Homo-oligomer: A and B are copies of this chain.
Amino acid sequence: MIEVPPAEEPFSLDELQKAVRNHGMPLEALRYDITPAGLHYLLIHYDIPATDGAAWRLDIAGNAERHLTLSLDEIRARPSRTLAVTMECAGNGRARMANRVRSQPWLVEAVGTAEWTGTPLAGVLAEAGVRPDSVEIVFTGVDHGIQGEVEQDYQRSLTLDEAMGADVLLAWAMNGQPLLPQHGAPLRLVVPGWYGMTSVKWLNRIEAVTSPFQGYQQATAYRIQMSEDDPGEPLTRMKVRALMAPPGIAEFPSTNRLVDAGAIALFGRAWSGFAPIVRVDIGVDGDWHQADLGAAPGPHAWRPWTWTWQAEPGERVLSCRATDAAGNSQPLEPFWNLQGMGNNYVQTVPVRVR
C-alpha cells in the first residue's frame, strides 16, 4: 500500500515567493506531446535579464585557437537542428521531503517538453579550435545574483566529451518561435537528458578550461549531499520518472479530485535521462498494473502511457512508476538530502470515486 507523502511542515513566505515566480506545468498538460508556450516549467534563480538580441554577442574563448565573437544572426546562419527535449528541474519533488531545505518548493510539476531549434555546440567549439587538453567547457549566462553569499553570474560546465555530443544545442527557438525572455532569449544551451540546471539560459560566454570548474552552481549547488560537510555527488542526467494527469474533475480551491465510477482512461508521460522508458506500472491502492506505452515525440522526449482503470466507488490512491532500459525504477518514498535534489519518488494521486 502506498501512502500519500505528507508535507511535513507548512510553507514559508520565501518558498511561496519562489512558487509564484517559478511556474510549474499543470499536470493536465501531460496530454500534449509538446508543451505549449507558458506551460513548460520555469526555474529562474535571479531576475529574468533584459537582453537585446541585436546588441547581444556570444563569446567563445579560453583554451582554444581562436576567440570567436558571434552575433545572433551569425549563429542562426549555422546548420540547425530541431529536437524534442523533455526537461525537468533537479529540485522536482523537494516539497514533500521531510525537513526540507527552504528553496523552490516543487511538488512534481517541474517538467515540460519543448521543440528546441539551434545549432550543434560541437560545430562552434570546432570552429574556435578548442584544444584537446581542455577538460571542461564553462557556460555563462547574463543572469546575475547572490546565492550562498556568493555574488555570481549563473555558470555551469560540461566535460569536453559531453559538450561535443551531437545533440547539445545552442538554441534560439522554442516550439518554432524565438525564445521567450523567461526561457533564455536570445540564446540558451540545451543539453538533452540532463536536469535543467545544465541548459544555461541567456548564454553569452563559452570558455574552454584546463582544470575542473569550481563555480558555485557546479561545486556547491546541484549536488546530492547528506550534510554540510559532505561534498556530495553532482546531479547530472534526469532520473527515471512517470507522471499522471489526475483523472476526473477538480475541486477549487482544494485539490481534491472526483471521479465517476466505471472505465477511466488514465494517462501520463514517463522519461529518464539514462535510457529509454520500457515500462510504466499504475498503482491502484497499491496493486500494480502494467500500462500501455506509446511513441515518444523524439529520442530525448517523454513517452506517453495509458491505462484503463475500472474505478469502483470509494477513496482510492493512484500512483505510477516508470522503469527504463537500464533497469532504473522509481523509489516509493521521498528520500532526504540536504538540497532536496533528485527526488524521483512515485507520484500519488488521491481520488474519490462516486
Contact indicator per residue, chain A 249-265, by CB within 8 Å of chain B (1) or not (0): 11111111010000000
* A295 lies within 8 A of chain B by Cβ: no
Question: Of B18, B46, B253, which contacts A18 at CB under 8 A?
Answer: B253
How distant is the Cα of A249 from the Cα of B151 in the complex, in angstroms? 9
| CB atoms of B28 and A48 under 8 A apart | yes
The answer to whether B147 and A252 have CB atoms under 8 Å apart is yes
Flag if A109 contacts B20 (CB, 8 Å): yes
| Distance in angstroms between the alpha carbons of A254 and B23 in the assembled complex | 17
What residues of chain B lie closer than 8 Å to A42, measured between beta carbons? 38
Copies of this chain, complex-wide, total: 2
Which residues of chain A (22-45) have a CB below 8 Å from chain B?
23-24, 26, 28-29, 31-32, 36-40, 42, 44-45
Asked whether any CB of chain B lies closer than 8 Å to the CB of A180, the reply is yes
Count the A residues whose beta carbon is within 8 Å of the partner chain — how many? 59
Residue A235 is within 8 A (CB to CB) of chain B in the complex: no
Residues of B close to A17: CB separation below 8 A: 107, 255
List A residues at the B interface (Cβ < 8 Å). 7, 9-21, 23-24, 26, 28-29, 31-32, 36-40, 42, 44-48, 50, 95, 102-107, 109, 144-147, 151, 180-183, 249-256, 258
**Would you list 26 pairs from A and B whose C-beta atoms are within 8 A, ordered by A residue?**
A9-B10, A10-B10, A11-B13, A14-B255, A15-B16, A16-B16, A16-B19, A18-B253, A19-B20, A20-B107, A21-B24, A21-B109, A23-B38, A26-B47, A26-B48, A28-B47, A28-B48, A31-B50, A38-B39, A38-B42, A38-B183, A45-B250, A46-B250, A145-B250, A145-B251, A147-B253
